[in-house]
Structures are given as structure tokens and as C-alpha cells.
Structure 1
């Protein structure tokens, strides 16, 4: 048996002086379009091998995606880059040249024989003053906070809904920075002090859950900026920490709860609301063709706990015989978290809906064919459902809240609540709905492999819809 190479841990890494470099060959077929010569080279600015390996793994994934994008035509050639984008390219090249103080291997081409002065002279080639200003601002790092937001979101490994949410949160911070007086805060001016100001003025006023989401989005974006050399980190700051947002203290956590101070939170549907949504006459101001899909998807969520995006994107081939051999399952292949891919038993009361929607369809045909051609099926359906429930009087707006306390996710909450009331184990409910195991619970979060198919089916079948007779009483 062949032994493992002693240099395996240094794959795609080269030590120049006391700094590790990431070095990956660019496929010849896209080399001209990429515009970087034969190799994609990045100074990792660290002499720590383990830190370099972590950055190497991230850059390896990102460059693979970039190469794939060039091959598919998604990325434009450098000759068509905007003035600002060209300024970024020059800035990256100059930064690499300044950091490369040691003599490199003989086979490394002199890619970075460029200076700030020569780059500034290049700005004269732009005819329009606005283009020259954009080029020079990018060259010197005087860029708006969201200058690289689209590139970051394109690479972010998150669900579409989370990507959209992060765009809004980072965009909010960018708008705050641009509105500072007497001078807007550009990327080069965002340090720990300015980040602390933003936390105090904006984030501290948010709900604790939103605070966490906001800081997570900002840390992720700044990690990307640091990994690409688009911001300068203070000496000793690791790139993966999300400076300057790491360790920012939040004021709203751990406050004393006083009488009548508990803030209203989004909740499960009541039984009355479930009956209203399922059995009321169709709303007069809704398009008739939308209503069957709304009630079918709602019923599936009520009897499975599945998320909206999981339901509306189901393919016919993802409904199959379960591992227990006694019924069908929704075989979810992707989702919001690592725990999202899972088989969810089809409740007996859903059989008719599923079979009706599968008639004449095979393979990757959508179970909810009404949404197949929508650009964002989940968002489109969510808006339709909101109109539907509001017209039926199912709403719960509270002072100071911009969203109703009930929405489609309330069906998922209802399922979880009903399963708990029926005495189903917490761990089994979590496996059915796709919640991430609690790693602090060594017994159930680390050592077990989840509920059995029989346990999951028993959990689903324990939940029953409210009786219809209530409405006509």
C-alpha cells in the first residue's frame, strides 16, 4: 500500500521567504479570459502553515467556482471590466508586488512589475472624469462598503433566501456608512472603532435574533474581503475572524425581564386559524388558479413540518417508497441547514394530494408545477399566501412589528407544537423537521444517528388536522 506523501499538506502552497503563497495553475482554455498569466497566485501573508492550509482550502473552492464561471460564460473578460473593477485589479497586483520582497522560484513569471505611479498614469486613458475617479478610488481602496457585495453573494454557500437577507443587511450597513458626515465611510475607513459605532447606533436596537443575523452577515462579507486582499487587516488579525466585527458586544442580550415587557414573537397558527385557512370559502379577490396550490402546500406543511422552500421545489422523483417499506416519503435533498436533507414520511391524509399532483408527471417534473417557471418560487408563493390569509382574516400585526406574527412558517410551528402535545420525543421531532442536532447534548447530538424510519413515521402520523365541523357550527 502506497504511503501518503509528506508534502500532501502543502498542496497548492509555496513558501517564499517567510510567507506562504497560494499558487494554482489556470486551465489553458480560459487563461486568456482570466487575464492572470499561467498561475493564480495569492500572497496569504502568513508564515503559519495551518493558517495557510485553511486559507488554501477556501481559495481552492473559490477558484474552482471562478474557473467554472469563466467556462460557462458567466464571467466577462477583463477587457470589458468597468473602471472601478480595473482599479481593483491594479490594487490587488500592487499589493502582491509590495508583499513579495523575497526572490521567488525561477519558474515564477514576473506578474507584478507595476507601481502606484504607473497605475495612476493609466487613469488618463479614461475619457470621462467619473470613470477616472472610479478607477482611482478603487486603486487606492476608497470604495463604498458594498462595492464587492455582488461578488461575495455569488460565492456564498447559503440558501437563496439567506443570500437575499444578507444582501439587505450588508446593504443597510453600506447605506449607513455612505450617509456619514462630513465624509462618507469607505471600505478603507471601516475599522474597529467605526464598526463599534455601527453596532451601538444600529444593531443594538434590533431584536437579539436579528442582531445575530446582522453580525453574521457582516463577518462573512469582511472575511471575503480579507481573503481577496480587498481590505488591510491590522497586524496579528487572522483573516478568518471577521475583523472588525468579531467580539463586538451586544447590549440587548441578558436584560432583566420586567412585567409586561415580553416582546411578541412569531407563533404557530391556532386551531381556529388552521380551520379558517383550510375550509373557508375561497377569497373573492384571489386568482382562482392560485388557491389549490396554496391549500395543498399549506396542508403538506401542517402535516409534515416542512419548510416553504422544501415543499414548492419538490420534484416527482423525490417522492418515493420509504426505507420502512410501509409508505411514501418526501426525500428532501437540499435545504437551509446541513440537517435539511432527510426523508419525511408522507402523512396518510396527504396521500390524495400527492397522488393527484403526480398524475402524468415523472422524474424532475415539479410537484407544484404552477411555480416551475417563477424566478423565485418561494418568494412568489409566500406573497400569494400572505394575500390569501389576510383576505380570510388570519393576521396578527402588533405595534412596533413590521411583520405579522403569523405567516406560512406558522404551519411548521403548528406541526412541531402538535407533535410535542402528542408526546413525541423532542429528538424525533427535530429529525422530522430537519433541525440541527444540539452538539452540547453528547447522547443525542453526537452519538446517535437519528430517529428510525418507524419513529419518524409515528411522529408524523401522530399529528391530526382540526375537525372541519367547527366552521359550520
Structure 2
């Protein structure tokens, strides 16, 4: 599916996150030799001017490479850019200079080889090689490799961690700081200027993301003189500043009201939104209201995970997220309609199959939907509305609770970790029966239409 961008990028450039990439399609006769259709190189910068300079260099290099492929003289090692070769030399030098197997003679030869290759380059190529050799690259230079290592985390968690790293990368770029210049003092300046003013929970998450990224950089040898526990961020403390308590300061996300649920379920679909979104939004909302499932869980369900009267959640935000959720009787029509004629690996919400992040797209579409219908609750000093798609999950838990369901049973249905301080007689540890979960689900009912007979 083609994706639109707000502004066309210069030729041969792509933007992934905040980093520019060089992308050039290979001539048809060169593809079998190269093994791929497109030559992709991470340019290691968020600055478009630098990206264009490096693109021009790579364009000349790839043109030469295509000629060499046709002549049968191409060496696959030539596919590496000067920056990539500089990183390889850096990793080699670090390996040879540390550990119990350090080899002074091999190190001396490697240093000589690195210096010789650096001197062979000219202009921007020489600068790119030299910067990579000494680790002087953009802060987010290695973020794509890092994201691969945390791919098993929940999508929302990955988005948050990536956002924190990129926010610091932008701050560092504005101050013309590169990765090798991030010291404990620089980290402290960022904590004071950016992290301290945040809400304590947001601040802790932000700092944790930076510690984790620096731990990865240390393990991969991209930084030296630090450790695997967060480098310059390891001992940074968040300053919790006291402030006057104002009205609304304690307002938290809340469940939908009965009237809000009626509005969301029974109102005519907003004319300014694409009508094709109506089934996915109403169906997903209804499932969440009657199961307490998260938007990511609903959006990515496979048909084979809807069986034997349950939504069989296999993965999620926490270890407690993997669980069977009984299918409410009022959801049988939706389930039948969405599974009919599909294979086991097809998505229940097939409309979202091609989306890069199905849960996030569903959440954004739902926000537009509820705001268009006037279901919103923005408070002064709050960045987000107190009602979101997650409010359907709160609505389920609240209605199950006021109907007499035990909190441990509700927790087992919605996938919450048990609160060990509140567990009595080992109820949660022994497990909740299928009958208890089924009763918990069925006790929750949707409000009737106001005009119902």
C-alpha cells in the first residue's frame, strides 16, 4: 500500500523515523549479481543537507558498482559505504584492544589499515569514514539495529521508547552534539532541561528508554568508557519538584459513561469520515466494551485465535496479557461475520492487515470518530483526553465490578497482573476457572438504545 508523505523528498532519499536512507533501484541486469532489487544504505543523519551530500557520493559509487557488476569485477565488500567501513574498523579495533585475547601486533596492523583506508578517501567520504571510526555519529545512528533487539515488546512500548530516543537525538542535534560527546554532564543537562519538568511516570519511562539504548550501544561496542547499565544515564535522578495543586490535577483516564457509549454505538457515522471505517470502529469498540481487550489485541487477532468460545490472546503488553477471553453472547454475530470464508492466519480485522501498526491506526481513527461525535474530555493542564479507546476497557472492568465480580476474576479476563498485596488465600495463584471468567464477561451488558421499545 502506497504511503503519502507531507512533502516530497529529494530523489533517491527515504526517511525512516528521523534518519535518511539512500535508496536506488538496481538495473535489471545487475539485480541477480547484487541479490536485491534496491541498494539501501543508512545515511546516519537527520539533517537533509548532509543527507543530500552523502546521497551524491553514494550515487557516484553505485554507478561505478553497476559498471563493475557488468564487467564481472565487482567485489561485494564495495557495497559498504565509507561510514559503514569506518564502523567495521572501529569494532575490530575495540575487539583487538580489549579482553583476555588482546593482540598488540594484530592491533597495530589494524590501526595501520584503518589509517591507510581513511587517507585513501577524499572530501565527504573521508569525513564519513573518520567520524564512524572514532564513533562520532548522530545519536540515533544505531536506533534501527536497537529496535530489532526489542521487537518482541508490545508495539506501544516500542513506539514510546523510540520516541524518547529520537527526542534526545533532536535535542543533541540542535546543540551540535554527536554520540561520542554525550557525557554524564551532557546527560545531566538534558535531564534538568527536558525530563525533570515531565510527569514523574513519563520522566521515569523517558530516562529508562535512554538507559536501555545506551546499554545496547555498550554491548555492541558503539561506545567506550561506559557500561551496560546505562552509561551517562545510569545514576541520573529525576528531580520531583513540588507545585501548587490545581483543580483537575488528579483527574485520570476514566471509563465511558452510559450516554457516551450510546453515542458511540448508535449515532449516525460522521459524514466527514470515510464510511469504510464504520464497521471496524463499531466492531472493535463493541468487542472491547464486552471483553476489556486492548486495541492492539483486537486489531491483530488471527482467525485461528477465535475458537472454542474464546478469544485466545497469545501475546501482549505483559505476561498476564496472554490469556483466554470468553466471547460474550452479544459478540457472536460479529465473530461469525468476520471469520466466515477466512483462513486460520487471516486477520479478524482484515482492513488493518496492510497497516504498519494496526493498533495505533485503529486508535487514531477511533479518536477522530469520537471527537466528531462530541465524545471528549479535555482538561486544563492535560495533554490527552480523559476518554480514549482504552476507556472501553475501563468501562468493562467498572461494570463487572459493580455487578459483584471479584477483582481477581476481572483481572484474569482483562489481562492485569495481580496485586500481590491484595491476593488472599491464594485465589489468583490457583487460577480462575473458565466458568468464573465466562460469568464475569456475561454480566456486562451494552446499554439499550434510548428509542428502544
Range class of TM-score, shorter chain: 0.7 to 0.9
Structure 2: which 5+ runs fail to align? 1-34, 36-75
Does the 8 Å contact 2:284/2:298 carry over to 1? yes
1:78–1:276 distance in 2 versus 1, CA, 3 Å: farther
Deviation at 1:162, TM superposition (A): 2.1
1:403-423 CA distance string (max 9 Å, x none): 322221111121122222222
In the TM superposition, 1:121-136 aligns within 5 A as 121-127=116-122, 129-136=123-130
1:353–1:131 distance in 2 versus 1, CA, 3 Å: same
Deviation at 1:116, TM superposition (A): 3.5
Are residues 1:189 and 2:181 paired?
yes
TM-score between the two structures when normalised by the length of structure 2: 0.76
Q: Which residue does the alignment assign to 1:273?
A: 260
1:67-99 CA distance string (max 9 Å, x none): xxxxxxxxxx75423322221111111111112
Q: 2:169 aligns with which of 169, 174, 192?
A: 174
Does the 8 Å contact 1:97/1:113 carry over to 2? no
Are residues 1:362 and 2:343 paired?
yes
Does the 8 Å contact 2:82/2:129 carry over to 1? yes
1:217-270 CA distance string (max 9 Å, x none): 111101101111111235xx5x2x2232234222237x5773536254332211
Deviation at 1:472, TM superposition (A): 7.7
1:101–1:313 distance in 2 versus 1, CA, 3 Å: closer
Does the 8 Å contact 1:439/1:445 carry over to 2? no
Tell me the distance in 2 between the aligned counterparts of 1:402 and 1:176.
21
Structure 1: which 5+ runs fail to align? 1-32, 34-76, 105-109, 322-327
Tell me the distance in 2 between the aligned counterparts of 1:442 and 1:93.
53
Q: 2:245 aligns with which of 258, 265, 277?
A: 258
Deviation at 1:465, TM superposition (A): 1.4
Deviation at 1:350, TM superposition (A): 1.0
Does the 8 Å contact 1:419/1:459 carry over to 2? yes
Q: Which residue does the alignment assign to 2:384?
A: 403
Tell me the distance in 1 between the aligned counterparts of 2:401 and 2:379.
27
RMSD: 2.7
Tell me the distance in 1 between the aligned counterparts of 2:425 and 2:85.
53
TM-score between the two structures when normalised by the length of structure 1: 0.73
Tell me the distance in 1 between the aligned counterparts of 2:225 and 2:343.
53
Q: Which residue does the alignment assign to 1:351?
A: 332
Does the 8 Å contact 1:93/1:114 carry over to 2? no
3-state SS, counterpart of residue 343 of structure 1: strand
- Number of aligned positions between the proteins: 377
Are residues 1:416 and 2:397 paired?
yes
3-state SS, counterpart of residue 240 of structure 2: coil
- Structure 1: 4+ residue segments shifted above 6 A: 444-447
Tell me the distance in 2 between the aligned counterparts of 1:373 and 1:177.
35
Deviation at 1:361, TM superposition (A): 2.2
Does the 8 Å contact 1:419/1:462 carry over to 2? yes
